[in-house]
Amino acid sequence: MSLQPVLLPTDLLIFVLVLAAAALALRASRHAPSREAWRRVGRRPVAMAAATVLLAFAAVGFLDSLHYREQLPPGPGEAAAKRQYSSEVLSALDALLAPLRLQTEKTYSAPFARELFQREVVELPGGGQARTYPRLVYGARHLLAGSSLLADLAGRLAWTPFAALAASGLLLLALAVAVARGRRCRPGEAIRLILAGRTALAWRAVLIVLFLVALLAAAGVALASHYHVFGTDKVGQDVLYLSLKSVRTGLVIGTLTTLIMLPFAVALGIAAGYLGGWVDDVVQYVYTVLNSIPSVLLIAAAVLMMQVAIDTHQQWFDTAAQRSDARLLALCAILGITSWTGLCRLLRGETLKLRELDYVQAARAFGASTAAILRRHILPNVMHIVLITVVLDFSGLVLAEAVLSYVGIGVDPTTISFGTMINMARAELAREPVVWWSLAAAFIFMLVLVLSANLLADAVRDAFDPRQ
């Protein structure tokens, strides 16, 4: 089937972010102090393990950013050459998770269940009616009556450790070749060094985490097409599919908001600290006023005004995905505009100290321009604060999306996110018996994502903070 690529605004920003990260990594590899700082991060097994988990989440988010529309088959009387495309925008992740996306049930079902979670009146084969738990349409449909669920799960999971070992083995061989080339030793000796944890970077931690990730991925491949691993929600959608789709929303909120925040914080913070005078007074007045307004109220007012503009201009968007993406991008902009004050204050204080140092005074005495001093002497010496704050704020922004969506002022209701999953679970927790798996799945994915970001942030802070 022919496909029409679709480039959403957040997709374009994500691709730009990936290229920028690659450029910064290349620049850091050529800059000795930055290279040594990142090497200190890489020596910590916890940091390398957290970075591996974050890369796995980033891979899921990147696949979910490759959007397209499928070509519709020609209708009766239409020419086959006339191309018409579906209004539904899908992604590469949707294509990989097609069984999870398409195999929807009627309503709730528990993890690995064979029947619906609630009783219904069904027609009996011999006539009459009975109130019982109907059999699922897709979940565990291959199991016959009386078949053992545990035996089937064990049989399907038997090959997953070997697949995980194969993936880890391939990475070990690639690392061994790289380490052997750097140390000028044999690949066998490099493998022993990696497994013993005596390499410059903590590659052994990466191998362990990769094995666990590959094991979970292989288990998902083996079970997801036959069972609803995390159950289904109120409308029968697979909760595992919703959890994986929520990863992109969390990453977009955490990264794009930071990109929007940085220009305000860096430019205003450095200008206020170095120039002083009325510039410093104006910047202090602006961020003091913003900090005086409750952030939730400010964000709610901006989101509601933005939503009114979107609802009154439906002609701006060809598909529902473009409309929801516009709201997501607007939410990132609103969070970025309202969250730059903390970093700005830190940069102002650091610039006030730097401008009195001897090398800055010497540059000023030799007639260097203000722009040159800011570019060559001030900005490079505050970048450690910028980097530390960016990494630390990522997890806070992911949690902020969940809170905002929970109170109804977050992403579009059609956008799958951790916040919308938690918001829907609010009513499910009031049921008897409790529908717990939607909240549990969102909690597990958010916990792993935020915990990994925090552990990496601690390592980055220790490596780049000159006071450590």
pTM of the model as a whole: 0.85
pLDDT at 273: 87
Residue 79 clears pLDDT 60, i.e. is over it: no
Find which of 125-134, 256-265, 295-304 is predicted with most confidence, using mean pLDDT. Answer: 256-265
Span 51-78, pLDDT tens digits: 999 999 999 999 988 888 887 776 665 5
Phi, psi at residue 396, to the nearest 5°?
-65, -35
pLDDT at 153: 85
What distances in angstroms separate CA 289 from CA 65, 186, 414, one per listed residue? Answer: 37, 63, 34
Question: Could you tell me the end-to-end alpha-carbon distance of the chain, in angstroms, rounded to an integer?
Answer: 57
Average pLDDT rounded to a whole number, residues 325-335: 83
Span 231-278, pLDDT tens digits: 888 888 889 999 999 899 888 888 888 888 888 888 888 888 888 888
Mean pLDDT across the chain, nearest whole number?
83
pLDDT confidence of 466, banded at 50, 70, 90?
low
Kindly state the percentage of the chain with pLDDT values over 90: 6
pLDDT at 56: 92
- The CB-based long-range contact list for 34-42 (8 Å cut-off, 24+ gap) reads 37/463, 37/464, 38/463, 39/200, 39/201, 40/462, 40/463, 41/456, 41/459, 41/460, 41/463, 42/200, 42/201, 42/202
Does residue 380 have a cis bond before it (omega within 30 degrees)? no
pLDDT at 77: 57
What distances in angstroms separate CA 142 from CA 108, 147, 152, 160, 264, one per listed residue? Answer: 19, 10, 10, 20, 57
Average pLDDT rounded to a whole number, residues 152-158: 86
| Range scoring the smallest mean pLDDT among 97-101, 210-214, 332-336, 399-403 | 399-403
Q: What are the DSSP calls for 262-273, one per residue?
A: HHHHHHHHHHHH
User: What is the bridge-based pairing of β-strands 120-123 and 85-91?
Assistant: unpaired
CATH: 1.10.3720.10, 1.10.630.10, 2.40.30.110, 1.10.10.10. Which one for 241-464? 1.10.3720.10
pLDDT confidence of 1, banded at 50, 70, 90?
low
Q: Which residues contact 193 (CB under 8 A, 6 or more apart)?
A: 179, 183, 185, 199
Q: Which of 57, 47, 74 is nearest to 202 (CA)?
A: 47
pLDDT at 212: 92
Could you tell me the residue ranges of all domains in the chain?
A: 143-224, 241-464
Span 426-440, pLDDT tens digits: 777 777 778 888 888
Q: Classify residue 182 by burial, with Cβ atoms within 10 Å: 0-12, 13-18, 19+.
A: exposed
Residue 289 clears pLDDT 70, i.e. is over it: yes
Q: In 3-state terms, what secondary structure has residue 115?
A: strand
Span 185-200, pLDDT tens digits: 887 888 888 888 788 8
Looking at the DSSP bridge assignments, the partners of residue 115 are: 135
Q: Which of 212, 229, 247, 2 is nearest to 99 (CA)?
A: 229
Looking at the DSSP bridge assignments, the partners of residue 132 are: 120
Give kind and range of the element (H or E) at residue 424.
helix 418-428
Q: How far is CA 114 from the centre of its chain?
A: 32
pLDDT confidence of 121, banded at 50, 70, 90?
confident
Give the residue with greater pLDDT, 398 vs 448. 448
- CA 343/CA 264 separation, integer angstroms: 9
pLDDT confidence of 420, banded at 50, 70, 90?
confident
Average pLDDT rounded to a whole number, residues 115-135: 76
Residue 456 clears pLDDT 60, i.e. is over it: yes
- CA 226/CA 229 separation, integer angstroms: 9
pLDDT confidence of 24, banded at 50, 70, 90?
confident
Residue 81 clears pLDDT 70, i.e. is over it: no
pLDDT at 468: 58
